[in-house]
Amino acid sequence: MDDQPVALPTRTERKERTRRAILDAALTLTEQSSLSALSLRHVAREVGIAPTAFYRHFTSAEDLGLALVDESFSSLRRTLRDVRAAQPSVGGVIGPSVEVLVDRVRADPEHFGFISRERVGGLPGVRAAIRHELDLFEAEIATDFARLPGAVHWSNDDLRTSANLIVVAMVAAVERLLQGPGTPAFEREVARTTATQLRMLSIGAIQWRSRPQDRGGSGRLRAADDTATS
């Protein structure tokens, strides 16, 4: 029987492969330096393309960084949203959420390392994009809190503050995981500590009562609802 002809990749497929190679090379090269210090010529050489070919995929280093931010956060936010949807109570969602976070950091340390480094020392547009993604996390968590029975006692600002404390704890957990030895025992300890912190925060939030003058009617987070669905 004659061999079947091998289908050659289309132009779109070749372009996507090159784009993926550029993203992967940038992740590797920024392990030792920030994106702002990254030479686009070096990235092109790493991928095996002409420097001018880089600009067919990204307009600048900042544009490249924005793409990395988007793919770093999009699937994580979606996964955590699914976890929260499956667990109606604050207490029930903490353990699974922490497990997801630990699993994702273990599976993809390059992306999380990139976010950790660029969050404080990256290009302005990339820092702003990371802050925006963290704001979306806060808005989604605050909106979930607003649906709880006791949320009538919380002001919009207090809902957002509670959500911010949770996001800060999760960011700290990611940075501990990235800086630690990466052993199963260490991961379990980080997960245990983080889950305990979040449970303590949730207990405090459930018992919290905003001042009457701060509560805007129902206490639900109207602005956050709009942000989280954008």
Q: Which of 147-151, 159-163, 176-180 has the lowest mean pLDDT?
A: 147-151
Last residue of a domain, one of 10, 26, 58: 58
- Can you give the residue range of the structural domain that contains 5? 1-58
Count of domains forming the chain:
2
Q: What is the CATH number of the domain that holds 129?
A: 1.10.357.10
Report the helix count and the strand count for the chain, using DSSP H and E.
Answer: 10, 0
Q: Are residues 151 and 41 in the same domain?
A: no
Q: Are residues 39 and 69 in the same domain?
A: no
Tokens of 116: 């950790």
List, for residues 106-155, the tens digit of each pLDDT value: 999 999 999 999 998 889 999 999 999 999 999 988 887 777 666 666 78
Mean pLDDT, residues 199-209 taken together: 76
Q: Are residues 75 and 150 in the same domain?
A: yes
Q: Are residues 33 and 80 in the same domain?
A: no
Give one DSSP letter per residue of 121-161, joined into a string: HS-HHHHHHHHHHHHHHHHHHHHHHHTSGGGGG--HHHHHH
User: Going along 37-180, which residue ranges are E strands?
Assistant: none
Q: What is the pLDDT of residue 146?
A: 76
List the one residue out of 205, 158, 177 whose CA is nearest residue 98: 177
Q: What is the pLDDT of residue 227?
A: 41
Q: What is the CATH number of the domain that holds 21?
A: 1.10.10.60
Q: Are residues 26 and 131 in the same domain?
A: no
List, for residues 86-103, the tens digit of each pLDDT value: 766 666 788 888 999 999
Last residue of a domain, one of 28, 58, 88: 58
